[in-house]
Amino acid sequence: MDRKKEREEASFEAGIKLGALFHQFIGTPVSEENADILERAMESCMKLQPFVIDSEVTINRDKLRRAISEFGYTSLSGELLSAKVRVKVGKEEITAVLQWDDEKKYPLMRLVD
C-alpha cells in the first residue's frame, strides 16, 4: 500500500475510533468517584481496536462537578469528554482528537498531525 493510501486509511480509522468511543459511552453514569475508572475503561476499549497504538481520555472535572445532580452523579455528555487516539497503518501514524467546541456547542473531531 502506498503512503498516501496508508495515511487516508489511518485517518479514517482514527475517526471511526473516536466516533465509536463517543457513541458507546455518552449517557454512561459518571461521578467524581468513578471518573478515573471510566477514563481508563474508555482508553482500554480504544486500545483493543485494530491499528490503535495509544489513546487518552479525559473527563473535565470542573464541568463534571457542575453537572452532578442531587443524586451524586450525571450522565456523560460530549461537553465533559475529551479524547485523543494515535493510529498507525503501515508506516503512517495519525493523531486525532475529540474536543468540545464551546462556540459551536458540539463535540468536534479533527486530525492534529
How far is it, in rounded angstroms, from Cα 11 to Cα 13? 5
- State the burial class of residue 2 (Cβ atoms within 10 Å of its Cβ: 0-12, 13-18, 19+): exposed
Q: Please state the domain extents for the chain.
A: 3-111
For position 113, what pLDDT does the model report? 77
For position 100, what pLDDT does the model report? 97
pTM of structure: 0.93
For position 11, what pLDDT does the model report? 96
How far is it, in rounded angstroms, from Cα 92 to Cα 15? 15
CATH code for the domain defined by 3-111: 3.30.1300.20
For position 1, what pLDDT does the model report? 73
How far is it, in rounded angstroms, from Cα 59 to Cα 49? 21
Q: Report, as ranges of residue numbers, the positions in the chain whose pLDDT lies below 50.
A: none
